[in-house]
A and B are shown apart, each in its own frame.
Chain A
């Protein structure tokens, strides 16, 4: 566990682990897949030494269902994987959303579809924010753009999971996971006391009435009522929207990009600002809830938009929905297979600005 204020140079994957341990993560259930292997490896070393639980599951399916079981007990628990493995976890994520269980899922995503590659990609945006599993549900999605943010957001993910009794996904990629940066650590939280009665969690009934956690609603109107209650909960998540605006006030063009791509775009924007180009950055940090209101506000003030993603165009659909009353968004998609550099985004941004080069 960390000392407050300690500064360390670590990889994003380790930052996620240290953030989770410091947040009081009591159980971790993992399965090997590149590029997230550092996470289960770290957790297998550290959690048992703290008297907490690490299980290498037989599959991602099983790991996610172990998470469901631990979450039902009301302890802080998580799993991590990468894109193909996240697909396998969707069954349990849907059940956890339906059962309203607090759980944290980390996706250090890679290229796809199918086996894809093991490099960075943002091809899992739709899967993360539009559901992924079956049924009418939402999960909170947090996308770190730096290693420091990876540490901070995994801690926030646990808080949000319990605040809303809902699965929360931290969506990184191979860049965030494998990059080393200095991180300032926060104070360690004592793990949630397993005996703590949260009013819904399973402990063995003791002297009280038995509790039942389920997602099956067969009686007339029961599921509709459940769905409406879930919708209200999802709408209330709006108050936890997170984003980073950079030099947007005087900008003619706002680049919208998330995660590692937002971070790289920021460097491009700095360079273009140096040559007098009025460009800013809006980086959504919470992908669900999506910062639609803020984008609408920016659009209403007459800005133009360029969405840059590491895929063929996914978040751009949400950007267009958000700004539809006032503007449209151009799109530039950097494809998996190579790491984008700040220079890669210069021409697309200049083109969107209408600058002839």
Chain B
């Protein structure tokens, strides 16, 4: 499965600002706590595909806890195109 978004759970302080700016509203508060005692956010597998890689969450996050990757380009059949990244 493609995962365009990843959370560094050790950095997340559970402030939830990312949840407020996600246009797809797919970021939710998990039931997990990190080692600092903060509840951490997540994107559940069943909605992961919805992520558009807009990176609004990473932009608003005060703790640099979110990484976002652009989805690779696809052809009409949905196959991942042969892309090269510099």
Please tell me whether chains A and B touch each other in their complex, using a CB distance cut-off of 8 A: no
| Chain B contacts to A: CB under 8 angstroms | none
| Chain A contacts to B: CB under 8 angstroms | none
